[in-house]
Structure 1
Amino acid sequence: MDITNEVGKIIGSPEGPQLEYKAVLPPSRTIARLISSFANTDGGYIILGISDDLEINGLSDDFHANSITHKALDLLSSQPQVHYQYVIYEGKKLYVIKIEKSEKLISFEDRIYDRDDEGTKLVNPTKIHFKSHGYSRIKNISQQLEDYKKKATSAKVKLIEHYQSILKIVDDLGLILYPLDPGKPTSNQEGKVLSRILFSSFIDNFETYLSDLLFEIFLAIPATLKSKQQVTIEEVLSCSDLQDFVEYWAKQKISKLQKGSVKNFIKENKQISDLHVIDQAKEEEIEKILQIRHLYSHRNGIVDEKFLQYYSGQFTVNSEHQMSISEICDRLCYLAEVTNQIDVAAITKYKLA
Structure 2
Amino acid sequence: MENIISLIGQPESEVLEYKAVLPPARSIAQIIASFANTNGGYLVLGIKETPQKIIINGLSSDFHANSVTHKAIDLLSPKPIVKYENIIHDGKRIYVISVEKSSEVISVEGKIYHREGSFTKLQNPIVSPQNDNKIQELKDLESNLELNKTNGTEAKSEFINHYISIINIADRLSELLYPSSTQTPTNSQEGKILTRILYSSCADNFETYLSDLLYEIYLAKPETLKSTQEVTIKEVLDCTDMQEFIAYWSKKKLSKLQRGSVKGFLSENKQIEKLQVIDKPKQDEIERILQIRHLYAHKNGIVDEKFLKYHPEPYQIGEEHRLSLSEMIKHLVFLVDCVMKIDDKAIAKYDLSTIE
What residue in structure 2 maps to residue 46 of structure 1?
43
> Does the 8 Å CA contact 1:253/1:265 hold for their aligned counterparts?
yes
Residues 258-273 of structure 1 mapped to structure 2, 5 A cutoff: 258-273=258-273
Q: What secondary structure does 1:206 align onto?
A: helix
Q: How far off is 1:293 after superposition?
A: 0.2
| Structure 2: distance between partners of 1:74 and 1:250 | 22
Q: How far off is 1:134 after superposition?
A: 3.0
Match of 1:8 among 5, 15, 19: 5
Q: How far off is 1:109 after superposition?
A: 2.1
Q: Give the TM-score normalised by the residue count of structure 1.
A: 0.98
Residue 217, structure 1, aligned to residue 217, structure 2: yes
> Does the 8 Å CA contact 2:17/2:118 hold for their aligned counterparts?
no
| Structure 2: distance between partners of 1:133 and 1:220 | 44
| Structure 2: distance between partners of 1:315 and 1:140 | 30
What residue in structure 1 maps to residue 23 of structure 2?
26
User: Unmatched 5+ residue regions in structure 2?
Assistant: none
| Structure 2: distance between partners of 1:137 and 1:37 | 36
What residue in structure 2 maps to residue 115 of structure 1?
115
Residue 322, structure 1, aligned to residue 319, structure 2: no
Residue 249, structure 1, aligned to residue 246, structure 2: no
Residue 296, structure 1, aligned to residue 296, structure 2: yes
Q: What secondary structure does 1:104 align onto?
A: coil
> Does the 8 Å CA contact 2:304/2:318 hold for their aligned counterparts?
yes
Q: How far off is 1:191 after superposition?
A: 0.5
| Structure 1: distance between partners of 2:128 and 2:182 | 20
Q: What secondary structure does 1:113 align onto?
A: strand
| Structure 2: distance between partners of 1:257 and 1:231 | 20
| Structure 1: distance between partners of 2:313 and 2:79 | 60
Deviates more, 1:87-96 or 1:109-118: 109-118
Q: Which amino acid aligns with 1:27?
A: P
Q: How far off is 1:165 after superposition?
A: 0.4
| Structure 2: distance between partners of 1:130 and 1:338 | 27
> Does the 8 Å CA contact 1:218/1:246 hold for their aligned counterparts?
yes
What residue in structure 1 maps to residue 229 of structure 2?
229
Q: How far off is 1:130 after superposition?
A: 4.2
Q: How far off is 1:313 after superposition?
A: 3.2
Q: What secondary structure does 1:315 align onto?
A: coil
User: Unmatched 5+ residue regions in structure 1?
Assistant: none
Q: What secondary structure does 1:87 align onto?
A: strand
> Does the 8 Å CA contact 1:86/1:93 hold for their aligned counterparts?
yes
Residue 87, structure 1, aligned to residue 84, structure 2: no
> Does the 8 Å CA contact 2:113/2:123 hold for their aligned counterparts?
yes
Residue-pair matches, total: 350
Q: How far off is 1:138 after superposition?
A: 1.1
Q: What secondary structure does 2:48 align onto?
A: coil
Q: Give the TM-score normalised by the residue count of structure 2.
A: 0.97
Structure 1 segments, 4+ long, off by >6 Å, are: none
> Does the 8 Å CA contact 1:130/1:171 hold for their aligned counterparts?
no
